[in-house]
Amino acid sequence: MIICKPGTGNSNRSHNDLRFPSHTSCPLIEAGQPMNTSQSLWRNRAFTRLWVAHVTSGAGTAITSVALPLTAVLLLGASPSQMGLLAAAGSLPNLLFGLVAGVWVDRLPRRPILVWSDIGRALLLASVPAAAWWGELSFLQLWLVTFAAGTLTVFFQIAAISLLPALVEKSSLVDANSRLSTSDALISIAGPAAAGGLVQLLGAARTIIIDALSYLLSALALRALPEPVLDHPANGVGGKEGECGDRQSSRARTLLHEIGEGVHELLRTPLLTALTISSSLGMLAGSLAAAVQMLFLVEQLGLSPALIGTVLAFGGVGSLLGALLAPRAARRLRVGRTLAFGKLIWILGSLLLAAADQSRGVVMSVGAALALGGFGSSLYFVNQISLRQAITPVRLLGRVTAARRFVLFGVATLGAFIGGALGEAIGLRATLLVGAAALAVELALILLSPISRARLD
């Protein structure tokens, strides 16, 4: 049996206080067993199961992140505008379904959402090599598969982010996110390199079947994940004490109202608002670059699939170092300063990539650029997500995350379209420079906002 105890934090704290005390939390506790706050995360069975699923599906995704755009470029001869459309297909579901997904995640058990999202993505991705086998693969199918899989990913990611604070204690959040990001970094080292070789050996489309299998394995791991009972008065939020289980109150709560509660929490907390505004610029920059990066590597730098996998692996090395050093950086510099430092390193990597040319050292220069970008982005991501999880009540985390993603991925969708258009209008290299400039503006906002002074105590 799994039970969950609500936290005893002060709900009347000032949101301008950047030293955040503990608030409502829901650590996983097995009935009859006391919680040992010093217990290793690896001895936390719930976290370990989540980690296994994360690693399994992440390994396949790392391969598809190379194989799918190469399928569009090499098999279908996609243009910059089409690559922009493909990038937009992955981010558009967040804009269309993110807010509703947040409500569902807070209303429903989160484990089934994770499992069925994995199964659905496996079936969708398997259709790509199947169509290629029959000679019927089209850009429209790639777009639809990317869009549909992206929709399931919205539900999966919001559920996973919302579940983690219920599985580990607040004091372990940075370490837990660091371990997940460290695993991602290790995968991003081996995954792209393996993907490049597999694409040359098997072909781009057939390589995607590996990701489909990885999602099935992830679903098997998640089936054994215990479902903690969260403190959800009145079926979610805002109910008074004693109203839990009141069916009439639950039915009266509209979908729009529940979405509004997530948006309200995002807007009334100055630090969450500042993080959302600054991160929107980061998403714009990333989507601009992502729309043209594969074309830049193939057409302008002349890299083969195997070499593309190699340079992307350099990015994984940087991500690994960033994830490993993220907790130490947060303790030394505090979270806010670490976010600014990570963003600065990220900008340097973006500028170095845009400056790469077809010289003899192109692999090393591109690899160094991606390593810097991976290091900076990993430092930033681990601390940023930990900060958001720490200052957001667990019962609202699904909706707050969804509201934030609605804004960010709306910007990302726009950025993908703009990136494709800019790639054709001003060139691939110039588009990468525009993305780097957007990152620089984001850094300025971080330094001028309360984010730079944030800390986790």
Average the pLDDT over 352-378 and give the result. 90
- Least confident segment among 152-166, 316-330, 338-352: 152-166
- Banded pLDDT at 429 (limits 50, 70, 90): very high
Q: With a cut of 90, say whether residue 154 has pLDDT above it.
A: no
Report which listed range, 46-55, 265-274, 345-354, is most confident: 345-354
Average the pLDDT over 89-118 and give the result. 80
Rounded Cα–Cα distance for residues 398 and 393 (Å): 10
Rounded Cα–Cα distance for residues 428 and 366 (Å): 15
- Least confident segment among 52-56, 100-104, 245-249, 359-363: 245-249
Domain boundaries, the chain: 44-226+265-453
Q: Give just the sign of the alpha carbon dihedral 241, 242, 245, 250.
A: negative
CATH code for the domain defined by 44-226+265-453: 1.20.1250.20
Q: What is the largest CA-CA distance in the chain?
A: 71
- Banded pLDDT at 230 (limits 50, 70, 90): low
Say if CB 91 and CB 287 are below 8 A apart. yes
Burial class (CB in 10 A: 0-12, 13-18, 19+), 142: buried
Q: What is the pLDDT of residue 52?
A: 84
Distances (CA, A) of 17 to 115, 270, 444: 38, 10, 22
Rounded Cα–Cα distance for residues 294 and 239 (Å): 50
Q: With a cut of 60, say whether residue 58 has pLDDT above it.
A: yes
Q: Would you give the DSSP letter of residue 71? A: I
Q: What is the pLDDT of residue 226?
A: 66
Q: With a cut of 50, say whether residue 237 has pLDDT above it.
A: no
Q: What is the pLDDT of residue 124?
A: 92
Say if CB 80 and CB 295 are below 8 A apart. yes
Q: What is the pLDDT of residue 340?
A: 93
Q: With a cut of 50, say whether residue 252 has pLDDT above it.
A: no
Say if CB 213 and CB 122 are below 8 A apart. yes
Element (H, E) at 16: none
CB atoms within 10 A of CB 332: 10
Rounded Cα–Cα distance for residues 351 and 346 (Å): 9
Q: What is the pTM of this model?
A: 0.62
- Banded pLDDT at 342 (limits 50, 70, 90): very high
Phi, psi values for residue 455, rounded to 5°: -150, 155
Element (H, E) at 300: none
Return mean pLDDT, the chain.
78
* CA–centroid distance for 323 within its chain: 14
Average the pLDDT over 187-196 and give the result. 76
The identity of residue 380, as a single letter, is: Y
Rounded Cα–Cα distance for residues 233 and 206 (Å): 48
Task: With CA atoms as reference, report the closest residue to 126 among 57, 207, 217.
Answer: 207
Report pLDDT digits (tens) over 277-315.
998 998 899 888 988 898 899 888 988 888 888 888 888
- Banded pLDDT at 37 (limits 50, 70, 90): very low
The residue whose two tokens read 């979908």 is 255
